[in-house]
Amino acid sequence: MSTSLPRSVDAVAEPLLSLSQVTKRFGNFAALSEVSLDLRDGEVHCILGENGAGKSTLCNVIFGVHRPDGGVMRYRGAPFDPAGPADALGQGIAMVHQHFSLVGDLSVVDNVLLGRERGILNRKECARQLERIAAEYGLPLDPFAKIEELSVGERQRVEIVKCLIRNPRLFVLDEPTAVLLPDEIAALLDVCRRVAASGRAVVLVTHKLAEIKKVADRVTVLRGGRTVATSDDPAGDIGALVRAMIQGNVEALDSSAASILGLEPVTHVGHEPAAKTRIEVLQIDGLSVKDSQGVTRLDNFTLTVDRGEIVGVAGVEGNGQSELTAVLSGMMEATEGRIHLGEIDLTRRSPKEITAAGVGIVPEDRHAVGCVLGMSLAENIYLNRLDEFTRFGFLNRTALEREATSLMQRFDVRARGPAALFSSLSGGNQQKAVLAREMTLPNLSCLVAAQPTRGLDVGAVAAVYGHIRDACKRGIAVLLVSSELDELLTVADRIVVLYRGRVMGSCPADPKRKEAIGAMMAGQPQ
C-alpha cells in the first residue's frame, strides 16, 4: 500500500469529484489539512480514520455544510464550491449524516418531502415511491409512522431512503452502519454496490474493516486531518490500513476489537469474575411497557444481573431494547413490573435518583438524552456532579476543567480542550465522553450501556471493552444492549434475546451458539 499506487486503464478518466489540497479550519484548529482525493463513477470509496481524524468534516465539505479555507474542488469537470447543502443536492450530491436530520413529530413521508415539493403535497405518491425504494433495497419502512416513534435503526433507514429517492450522482454516507443490524448492514452494503454498479459514485465512512473487505474499491485513510494512506486493494491491505489509521501495531489491538472489525475470527474473551458466589445487583421483574397507542413494546421482561457479570441483550432493532433502557434510565415509565438495585426499589424513580443510587446509563441516542450540546466538554463530563465544583452559586471552572482533562486522558477523549463546546466534538469523542461520565460515578454498582461502541474507531472500541472489563473486575454489574451480535459474543458472559418485547431465550455467550441466537432473534425459540 502507498499513497500513490498505479491505476488501471479504466481509472484514467477524469474523476467525478476531485479535491486538491483542501484545508478546513475551525479557529486555530485544522480539521482538514491539504487533503487530496479523487472520487470516480462506478466505485465505492471508503474513508477510514480514528474519531476526530476529519472524516465527517471531509463529508460536510463535499456536501456544502462547510466551505473550505483552502484548496480546490472540481465536480463533473468544473470548479465546485457549493453555497450550501441545497446547492449540493441540486447538483446531484446526497448525504446521510452521522447524526439524524429528521423532524420528530412529522411522519416518514413528510420528512422525505421536506425541501422537495412546493404547494400541495402528494403524500400518497411519495409513499408509493418510498415503499418501492424500500422494497428494492431491503430497507422496510412504514411511510406514515412518526419519526419520534421509530427506533434509532429505523430512523437511519429513513435517512438512507430519503437520499436514495433523489437518485443521486454522488452518494455520501457518514458512518451509516453504526446503528444498523447485521442483516441491515448487508442490505446497505448491497445498496452501495448496486448504486456504484449503475455508474454512480459512493463515499462510505466506516470503522468496520469487514465492511471495507466486502464493498470498497478504494480506501483513503485520514489521521489528524491529513491523508496518510490510500489503497486500490483494500481487502489485501487491511493490516496496513489499520496501522496507518492508528499509527501502531495491529497485533497489539484488543482481540475483541479485532474480532468485531473483521481482523480475525470471533473468540470469546470474557473476564475474571469478581467473586465466585453470585450476588444479584440488578433485578428486573415482569417489566412491561405500552406506547402512547397502547401497543405493548416490552412484555413481562424478567432478568437479573450479578456482581461482576456482563449480560448482553440481543435482538433486531425495534424489539423492545430502546424501551428497556429508557425505563431503566428513568426516561420512561413502566406499565407494570419492578426494578431493584440490591435492596433499593428504583421503579418509577427519576433519572437523578437512579444516578444517585449508583446506576450509570450510556444511552443509545447520546444527542437526545446523553448530553447538552451547547455546554462545554468539561460540563458534560461532570454533568451529574457539577455541584462538586460549585460554591455560593458559582462554578469553579478551573477545578472543573482540571478534573475533566484527567478523564479526557484516561478515556482518550480528543478535543481542543475541556472548554470546547460539546457540539464541536466528533460523534465518537462525544460517545467516549458520555462513557467517561457514567463509568466514573463514585458509587457505581451497575452500568446499563446501550450501543456503547456505536460510531467508535478500532482503538476506541478496544478501550471501551477494557474499561468495561475493568469495571467488572471491581464487581460492577453490566447490562450491555447492542445490535452487534459479534460484540456480545465476544464480551458478554451470557446473552438474552428479545423478540417483539418478550424474552425469546437466553444462553451463554459462546460463538458456537451464534446460529441459535440468530434464530431466536428471528422469533424461533431454541
pLDDT in tens, 297-330: 999 999 999 999 999 999 877 788 989 999 999 9
Share of the chain above pLDDT 90, in %: 47
pLDDT reported for residue 240: 85
CATH class, domain 13-104+152-247, is alpha beta
Section 423-432 average pLDDT: 84
Lowest mean pLDDT among 8-22, 102-116, 355-369, 479-493: 8-22
Q: What is the pLDDT of residues 46-99, one digit of tens each?
A: 998 877 788 989 999 999 999 999 999 999 999 999 999 999 999 999 998 877
Q: Between 2.160.10.10, 3.40.50.300, 3.40.50.720, 3.40.190.10, what CATH number should domain 255-358+442-526 receive?
A: 3.40.50.300
In terms of pLDDT, which residue wins out, 354 or 248? Answer: 354
Region 170-193 average pLDDT:
80
Question: What confidence category does residue 178 fall into, taking pLDDT thresholds of 50, 70 and 90?
Answer: low
The mean pLDDT value for 284-293 works out to 90
What pLDDT, in 10s, does the model give residues 92-130?
999 988 777 788 888 888 888 886 656 567 788 888 888
Contacts of 293 (CB under 8 A, 6+ apart): none
Q: What are phi and psi of 4, to 5 degrees?
A: -145, 65
Is pLDDT above 50 for 457? yes
Rounded to the nearest 5 percent, the helix, strand and coil shares of the chain are: 40, 25, 35
pLDDT at 269: 53
Distance between CA atoms of 271 and 170, rounded to whole angstroms? Answer: 45
CA separation for the pair 270, 268 (Å, rounded): 6
Q: What percent of the chain has pLDDT over 70?
A: 88
Judged against a pLDDT cut of 70, whether residue 18 lies above it is answered with yes
Q: Where are the domains of the chain?
A: 13-104+152-247, 255-358+442-526, 370-440
Residue environment code for 405-414, b if the CB has 16+ CB neighbours within 10 A, otherwise e:
bebbeebbbb
Q: What is the per-residue pLDDT for 9?
A: 36
pLDDT at position 275 over 80? no
Rounded mean pLDDT, 159-171: 89
Q: CA 224: distance to chain centroid?
A: 21
User: Quick one: which of 465, 25, 3 has its CA closest to 267?
Assistant: 465
Q: What whole-number distance in Å separates Cα of residue 338 and Cα of residue 364?
A: 22
Work out the pLDDT band at 167, boundaries 50, 70, 90: confident
Q: Do domains 13-104+152-247 and 255-358+442-526 have the same CATH topology?
A: yes
Give me the helices (H) in 52-181, please.
Answer: 55-62, 85-90, 108-113, 123-137, 152-164
Supply the pLDDT for residue 7.
Answer: 40
> What pLDDT shows up at residue 271?
52
Whether 261 contacts 209, CB under 8 Å: yes
Mean pLDDT for all residues in the chain:
85
Tell me the mean pLDDT in the region 228-251: 80
